[in-house]
Amino acid sequence: MRTLILLAAALMIFGCAVGQPTYIYVDSVAAGSAAGMNKYYLLAEARPFYGVIDSGNDTAYGRRRHEKFVILTDRILQAQGFEKVDSPESAELIVMLEYGVEVMRVGNRTERTSTVQITAFDWEAVRDTDRRNALWRTHAYMDGSSGGLSHVIPMLLEAAQPYVGTSTDGVAEVIVN
């Protein structure tokens, strides 16, 4: 009996420590005209760290976190065969990174959805005609914002990596342990 109680207690303690899987959903769409376009310029440039706090929302921590997201996005794009260039003039694609937490009020409670979206535009079309039709868009999201943006956004970017610049033909479910 004593062994059974100890076993039950251990399961309660250690069972809670074992994390539940996290479900991330990725929806990606790509136009056929994007094929062969791989030189990109990322608009979400890392903000330099000056050690000066300009406003309440622009802290040194926020700038370092943003820089981490931009560096990770560059790595993911390059792992998928895209080539980073130093100026928009050398680019075929302008890639935009957006991330955040959407909050919706449902009755008496709030629901949070953490999101990352990477979108690529034909630079020539934007530059010459101001036409901003996306060539491809990869959107990753998950319910909640557990652990804050510093934890969630890298998970979303990693889950989106295999789908960047491709079409998923619907929403793909990625399970992260």
Residue ranges per structural domain of the chain:
19-176
Structure token digits, residue 105: 């009020």
Q: What number of residues does the chain have? A: 177
Classified by CATH at the fold level, domain 19-176 comes out as: Double Stranded RNA Binding Domain (3.30.160)
Q: What is the pLDDT of residue 53?
A: 36
Q: What is the pLDDT of residue 169?
A: 93
Q: Can you list the residues of the chain whose pLDDT is less than 50?
A: 4, 10-11, 13-17, 46-57
* 172 sits in which H/E element: strand 171-176
Structure token digits, residue 151: 């934890």
Q: What is the pLDDT of residue 48?
A: 45
Tell me which DSSP letter residue 82 carries: -
Q: What is the pLDDT of residue 80?
A: 95
pTM: 0.78
Strand 83-84 vs strand 39-42: parallel, antiparallel, or unpaired? parallel
Q: What is the pLDDT of residue 2?
A: 58
Q: What is the pLDDT of residue 5?
A: 55
Q: Which residues contact 172 (CB under 8 A, 6 or more apart)?
A: 25, 26, 27, 28, 163
